[in-house]
Structure 1
Amino acid sequence: MGKVYLVGAGPGAPDLLTLRAARLLGEADIVFYDALVHPDTLKLATKARLVDVGKRNGKASTEQRFTNRALVEAAKSHAVVVRLKGGDPMIFGRAQEELDALAAAGIECDVVPGITAAHAASASLGVSLTRRGLSRNVAFVTPRAGEGQSPVEWLAVASAADTIALYMASTQAHAVATDLIAAGRTPDTPAVFIENASLPSERRVVTTLQALRSGPTPSFEGPAILLVGEVFRELSLSVMEHEAELRLAVTERCQAKSA
């Protein structure tokens, strides 16, 4: 029997891989990788066979039971099997299902942590998820339930936290904002979407719960995480001031032309 490694690929940027993750990719005989893993990260697996087992919402995806079975079979004929997961394997990465399947088959497995999206987004924004006197706890939640599963009871946990990191919530922004306000969050609570955190294509949408509840839902091509909390108040005010300055500049130009 070979050994399986559940490896975190991080939020996207290849140079955010851990040294252990990079070493194991170079040693791997076969790599089962997620849909969002960066192509340059896959290039580190110089001698491995690459197998796409990615999942994307609304698109054709590999069923989890197939991935579990494929990992077990691969370990029977390969010494080093890498299961490369976006972000951190243990944060909304279905790692436990794969760990259980491997344990049931008697296959040894190690987990190599990766940087999760909330940490990458926080670092990119330059805003700490915790702050003395303002935010002493953070909740990592997702409102999305898998096919055939009961609705996720995320609201009680989220409403009790100072800062909230919502994974896989971009298509449910209106409902999320409505629920959080109903649970006691003020409508002007800052909210920030970060798409493709850590990559050159990163995009930010700085808004509020009220705007998400009453306005159009932002659309994203890449993975986006929603961060909510008072720690983002200064960022929100800065964006508002910048937008006000732009509006003033446009008004002044229009007045100069008409004069």
Structure 2
Amino acid sequence: MSVETTLSLLQSRMARLEPGHVWLAGAGPGDPGCLTLDVVSALTQADVVVYDALVDPAVVAIAEGAELFFVGKRGGKLSITQAEITARLIELAKAGRKVLRLKGGDPYVFGRGGEEAIALAREGIPFRYLPGITSGLAALGNIGIAPTMRGLNKAVILATGQTADLGDELDWRALAATGQPIVIYMGLKILAHITGELMAGGLPADTPAAIVMAATTPRQRVHAATLGAIAGDAERLGFESPVLTAVGRIVSMRAELLALADRALK
């Protein structure tokens, strides 16, 4: 069976995006190949797409003929507020549009999709959640780090490093005390502070760590180091958002995989 036939059969079984409805969808970590079939279907049905800065242009291009609203937010830069984004979704839905709200990663994992879902429900607007592959897992796998590995960890902690101020941050020392690997979304501006708190919480400075920028895209950059060095290295090497930082023994797996792959090529 051809790819075209398969996709056609699957398309006939997928839900229809109706006028006045909003679908909250995840675009995955970046590469269009990480899209789910439901999200691809939504892109072809929507007549308006409200999308974030982390959504790859190749993904947005799938929505041929749709009206596009860019609502990307970046730390430290003037941008549209969350309240304005939510109001725009409500306005478009009440105007009878078929609305796709498209976010990088998964809308319910540090994507504020839950806030938007509550707001839509309060207004009586039908919505649907379309999951995306969250960057915190896909980015690691893509660079050769399994987020969970038997014998190394029994849990993995997903944490955001992007807080309004340091008074609203996580208790990094408590997370360090768990001994489980930590995947930090964003947080580049305060990475030195975060790593300092993790070490103050008991993690040794030589704990393996890695940072990945623009995961799964042509702009991807990766650097592996230690907990004590990763923040300084990221600044020295010019890493820019979006980034993910992984801390823990699972990071050491990458070096072994790369060495084995290199040996296989010789």
Deviation at 1:159, TM superposition (A): 3.7
Corresponding residue to 1:189 among 198, 201, 207: 207
Distance 1:63 1:33 in 2: 13
Deviation per CA, 1:143-175, whole angstroms, max 9, x where unpaired? 32136x941224123541511100112222211
Corresponding residue to 1:85 among 103, 106, 125: 103
Identify the residue that residue 244 of structure 2 maps to in structure 1.
Answer: 225
Deviation at 1:115, TM superposition (A): 1.0
Ranges in structure 2 where 5+ consecutive residues have no aligned partner: 1-18, 260-266
Ranges in structure 1 where 5+ consecutive residues have no aligned partner: 241-259
Residue type at the aligned position of 1:192: A
Deviation at 1:106, TM superposition (A): 0.5
Distance 1:236 1:174 in 2: 24
SS for the counterpart of 1:180 is: helix
Distance 1:136 1:33 in 2: 35
Corresponding residue to 1:211 among 212, 217, 229: 229
Equivalent residues, number: 239
Residue type at the aligned position of 1:195: M
Deviation at 1:131, TM superposition (A): 1.1
Residue type at the aligned position of 1:91: V
Give me the TM-score of the superposition, normalised by structure 1.
0.86
Q: Percent identity?
A: 38
Corresponding residue to 1:136 among 154, 159, 164: 154
Identify the residue that residue 169 of structure 2 maps to in structure 1.
Answer: 152
SS for the counterpart of 2:168 is: coil
CA RMSD of aligned residues (A): 2.1
Corresponding residue to 2:46 among 17, 22, 28: 28
Task: Check whether the contact 2:54–2:72 (CA below 8 A) recurs between aligned residues.
Answer: yes
Identify the residue that residue 107 of structure 1 maps to in structure 2.
Answer: 125
1:122 matches 2:140: yes
Distance 2:198 2:245 in 1: 13
